[in-house]
Structures are given as structure tokens and as C-alpha cells.
Amino acid sequence: MAAVLAGGSQRVVREAVRRSAVRPPASGCWGCGPGGKRYLLTEDDIKLQEFQQMKVAIRNEVHGNKDPYFKSIKEKLKKNGVILKNELKNLLHLCQTSSDVELAREVIYRYHEQNGITALHHFKFGPLFMRLCYELDLERPAVELIKDQTLRGFFSDSTSFHILMTMLFKKGHFESALEVLVEMKKQGIPFNKETYLLAFAICYKLDNLESCKISAKLLEEAQLKGYTLPPRAYCFAVATALKQNDVVQAKFYCSQIMKTENKLYNNLKVLVQLRSGSLEEVIKTLEAAVEVDTPPFVKKIEFSEQVLATVREKMEENPDLSDKLGDIYTKLQASGRITTCTLEDMLFQIPSSKKTPAKLLIQKQLGCQATKPLQSNLLLE
């Protein structure tokens, strides 16, 4: 881990970024279509809705007119007055524009200068500022402040880094997101399961040899510390290894997934078996899905149409297996076990248990920004 996200981190990140930048787009068709959505963290993690509700409450306290309050804060800055905790808290909730955020930046520096790290034990302003930047779509001030050495300790929590990485990720700035991950490590902020999920997703999107190595090191670190990672983190690692044609590593990651009764795992398992040349095992996996008698209230294991198309192409080399696959495909289709979802759709899908009506309010902001389908070469080799 030290070689990846500590001493040699900047070199590795630069190499990962360079390789990502020069990599030609794959001709596969696993990407997110126009308007498709990509999710990493849930509303429970980001708490944007809670922040917006508080903004409404504080705006009502000033009768919808923030100008007098902002004027009083500016006067305090001119007179070098002491910035109180509630003053900064209210200011962050009253910001509505990028110019407002510039004032908030100035007040943050003054507050940190006057109070230092000790005041931050009572209230963490980092997540508050990051939610504001997330809401207003302002990644530049967020990145600048979280990296500023003079503010060291102000962003002393993992949540601040997670929100920023999520914002950069949804905008397609994967290189910057990786740099923020490195900054988190440099500042000594402990990683948790959300951090690892974000890290593996970023490495998946960077799609180069260096990011694949980072995935491996991160997983090794997590296992040494005894962390239980979410299955989706392992799935990102499997997909990253497959994209780099590292079948051995992909098989290892796949073996670490304990929760196997879901469509994402089973689709990845089929691809790993296919890339390993275990065509008989692919047939057995698909047959097992057909034979399972799933109760009506239990979600069926589904296979991606694109994954099955790749399997079909490979099976053409063996007429007997090709015939078997044809029969299995018919049964899968008849039982409603074939989906048009791509593997990438599955990777970025929030578990249904976490999607409540209230949380769906911010899905637009988590949507994929690209106007063209993202592409992957997972199915090409």
C-alpha cells in the first residue's frame, strides 16, 4: 500500500492518469446510454436532502433575505472580528451562488485561523462545505480547499472526501477523484467500506494497468486490516481485472465474494469462466440458474443479453456446447431471466433496499453526465 498511496503515490497517480488519457476508446457496448444513471453512494451517505432542508429552515429565519447577514459577515472580516461557529454554519446554509461560496471560503480560512483544529472536535464543517459544493456543482473550490495545507484538519473526516470523490466521479473526472483519494491517505484519514467502494469504482473507470495495481494493493490492505468489504467493491475489482485481461486476479477476486445470490456476481462469474476457457463451467452455471425454482416473491437471477451474446460467440467454436447453450437460452428467456441491463448498469445500481422515495429526489444529480455511451472492452477479448 505504501508504494501506491503513500511514498510513491504521485508517480503512480500520474502514470495512471497518463495511461487513462492516451487509452483509445474501446469498441464494446457496455456503457451507460444517454440519460443513464450511475450510482456509488446513497443519500444516507451524502445527506444532501437533509442539508437542503436545513437550508430552507435557515433561509426562513432571515425571511428569505440573505444580504443583511452577508453584509454583517463581510464587516467582521474587515474588522478582523471573531467568526463564531453558528455564523459560519448559517453562512454555509445561505450560500446560493458561486460568489457566495467565495465569501464562504474567506470565512472558512478566518475561522480556521482563529480556532484551529480544537474547534473542529465540536462540529465538523468539512461535510457541510462539500455538500454545498456538491449542490452547486462547484468542484474547483472543493478540491482546492481539501488540498490546502493551511486548512489541514478542517476536513478531518472521511465524509468530506467521499462527497468530493462522488462529485468528481459523476462528472467523469476520474483522475481528479483518484488524486483526492491519495490526498485522503496523505492526511491520515482512515479508510472505511465506502472509501474502498469509491476507490475500486474509480480504478474501474480509469481502466489501465496502474489503476489495476492500485485495486490489488487496496484490497490487500483492507484484508490485512480485517475489513469486510461490500460485495460491490469486489465486483468492481473483478471487472477491472477482466478489462486488463488479468483472469487469474479476476478469479481470485470472484472467490472472495460471499454473497453470490445476485445477478451482478453471476454475470461476472460467467465472464470469468469464459475468459478462463472453462466453457463447460459456463454451461453448468447457466443450467443451474434455469433449474432453480424461485418463489414469486424472490427476485430471479438474471443474465445480461450482452453477456450471453459473448458466450454464444465463444461457444460457436464447439457445436455441442453451442446447441446446449441454445436450449438454455430458450429456457432463460421463457422464465424471464434475461435482461437488457449491461454489466455496467448492474455495477452502478443501488441496492433496492436503499432506494426509498425520499432518497430518489437526488437521483438526477447522480446521473451520468455523458451524452455518448461509455464503452468497455470487457467483452472484447
pLDDT band at residue 157 using 50, 70 and 90 as cut-offs: very high
pLDDT, average across residues 251-278: 94
Supply the pLDDT for residue 354.
52
Supply the pLDDT for residue 290.
87
Supply the pLDDT for residue 40.
79
Supply the pLDDT for residue 294.
66
pLDDT tens per residue across span 295-306? 666 678 899 999
Supply the pLDDT for residue 296.
66
Supply the pLDDT for residue 15.
52
- For residues 65 and 61, give the distance between their C-alpha atoms in angstroms, rounded to a whole number: 9
Supply the pLDDT for residue 297.
62
Q: Give me the percent of the chain exceeding a pLDDT of 90.
A: 68
Supply the pLDDT for residue 32.
45
pLDDT tens per residue across span 12-66? 444 554 444 434 333 333 444 433 345 678 778 889 999 999 999 999 999 889 9
Average pLDDT, the chain: 83
